Amino acid sequence: RVLEFELRNALESNQFHLEYQPVVEANGDHGVVGFEALLRWNNPKFGNVSPAKFIPVAEDARLIVPIGNWVLRQACTDAMNWPSSIKVAVNVSVDQLTSPSFVETVVQALHDTGLPAWRLELEVTESIFVRDGGLAVQILDRLRKLGIKLSLDDFGTGYSSLGYLSNIRFDTIKVDRSFVTGASKGKAECIAIIRAVVAMADALDIATTAEGVENEAELAMIQQFGCDKIQGYYFGRPMVINDACALFSDIQ
């Protein structure tokens, strides 16, 4: 595949950069609590390619480990420029999580950048429990014991069972955007699902983040459901690192 060929030399030609989308508190003054790092690829031949398109290619070509490790290191480096209470979330593919030296790579990235473990949040999807659930649980447990935060991304859209929630303690469940969109259109099923997820998370002492909040009405709805955190265009689109840093400077 042409995309795979281009992807092979994207790292060394500096074609990747990260954008950061703010995660804010659902209530009060909606202060920024962290950012999710989102990978961007600008290729001379194809222009900007969406991660939704190239991540699966990178996974199939076994390029996701070096690319994912670059993301991890870059995100930890960038986060050191923010106030010391602000977290950074990094998406981790199953192949990356279960690759032989993933835990060591994370520890090294924290050590080299000086980022405290609790400021790093790793986002995984339910799909990691499908293939080799035992190994994934074991690795997540090691990461957790190091003080790293764990988030369950795109919750409710995967093919997994809830059993893993009794084996591994997540800090945050991210309610998938599709439920937020559906609920805001008055879809009773989506409303019921969000309510149930929040109730379950509360009972398990897990925080919830609502994804894809795009307007005032969706914000009000999410506040009513009792989600803890919000991520969505209403509070900020993914932005380059300088813009993320500028959110904290007093002079605007």
Residues that bind Mn ion (CB under 5 A): 91, 123, 153
**153 is an interface residue for Na ion by CB under 5 A:** yes
Tokens of 215: 């307007």
Give dist(CA 85, CA 34) in Å, integer.
Answer: 8
Q: Which residues of this protein are in contact with ligand G, per CB under 6 A?
A: 21, 38-39, 50-52, 55, 68, 71, 91, 93, 153-154, 177, 211-214, 231-233, 238
Residues whose CB is less than 8 angstroms from the CB of residue 101 and which lie 6 or more positions away in sequence, other chains included: none
Q: How far apart are CA 131 and CA 142, in angstroms?
A: 19
Nearer to Na ion, 103 or 170 (CB): 170
- The first and second tokens of residue 196, run together, are 């149930």
Nearest to Na ion of 69, 231 (CB atom): 231
Beta carbon of residue 91, minimum distance to Mn ion (angstroms, whole number): 5
CB of 142 to ligand G, least distance (A): 19
Binding segment toward Na ion, per CB under 5 A, in 73-81, 180-188, 206-214, 227-235 = 206-214
The 8-class DSSP code of residue 239 comes to: B
Closest separation in Å from C-beta 215 to ligand G: 9
Longest CA–CA span in the chain (Å) reads 50
Residue whose Cβ sits closest to Na ion: 154
Binding partner of 209, given Na ion, Mn ion, ligand G, none, CB within 5-8 angstroms per partner class: none
**Tokens linked to 238:** 């993914």
Query: Which one-letter DSSP state was computed for residue 228?
Result: S
Q: Is-contact 83 29, C-beta < 8 A?
A: no
Q: How many residues does this entry show for the chain?
A: 252
Residues in contact with 171: Cβ distance below 8 Å, sequence separation at least 6, in sequence order:
121, 149, 150, 151, 206, 207
Q: Work out what residue 51 binds among Mn ion, Na ion, ligand G, none; the CB cut-off runs from 5 to 8 Å by kind.
A: ligand G
Smallest gap from residue 176 Cβ to Na ion (A) = 6
What is the C-alpha R_g of the chain?
A: 18
95 binds Na ion (CB under 5 A): no
* Residues paired with residue 207 on neighbouring β-strands, in sequence order: 172
Shortest Å, Cβ 36 to Mn ion: 5
Q: Which of 154, 165, 191, 197 touches Na ion (CB under 5 A)?
A: 154
**C-beta closer to Na ion: residue 153 or 218:** 153
Mark the segment that binds Na ion (CB under 5 A) among 4-12, 141-149, 150-158, 185-193: 150-158
The strand ranges marked E within 195-235 are: 207-211, 229-231
What is the smallest separation between the CB atom of 52 and ligand G, expressed in angstroms? 4
Query: Where does this chain bind Na ion (CB under 5 A)?
Result: 153-154, 211
